[in-house]
Amino acid sequence: MQKLKISTQVVGSRKDIIKIKVSGFLDAHTVPEMEEVVQSLMKKGLYKMIVDLEELSYISSAGLGVFMSVIGDIRDNRGDIILIRMPPKIFKVFDLLGFTEIFTMLNQEEEAIMAFNKN
């Protein structure tokens, strides 16, 4: 049974950006784990998130819901969710739903850090 693995890491020179590496299955069963990680970061006032999706093998509509549900609050607090290294399969899901228009998607971590630092 494939599960979800989440690891977080502080990145960037100002130490205010969190990289969340997600691997495995992000579906209705594993969504609560992802929600918890994101919510706890927000509680600590950390709103700049880079989500590395390189090792994510499956995302369901519920999985997409996690990002959708917090993006508003995150942006209201001058933060953002930047999705990086998205596998084509995952990209297709985001694109199908039109979420590529909502989220910033970049290839590398450095680009994401630069994007945060620019603002």
Q: Residues 7, 9, 40, 61: which binds other proteins (CB under 8 A)?
A: 61
* 32 forms part of the interface with other proteins (CB under 8 A): no
Comparing CB distances to other proteins, the nearer of 62 and 106 is: 62
CA dist., res. 49 & res. 11, Å (int): 10
CB contact at 8 A, 52 and 22: yes
Q: Which residue is it, tokens 């996690």?
A: 66
Q: Residues 2, 7, 77, 107: which binds other proteins (CB under 8 A)?
A: 2
* 101 forms part of the interface with other proteins (CB under 8 A): yes
Site for other proteins in 62-91 (CB under 8 A): 62, 64-66, 68-70, 72-73
Smallest separation (angstroms) from other proteins to the CB of 76: 12
Helices 31-43, 61-76: inter-axial angle, 10-degree rounding: 10
User: For residue 61, how many other CB atoms are within 10 A of its CB?
Assistant: 12
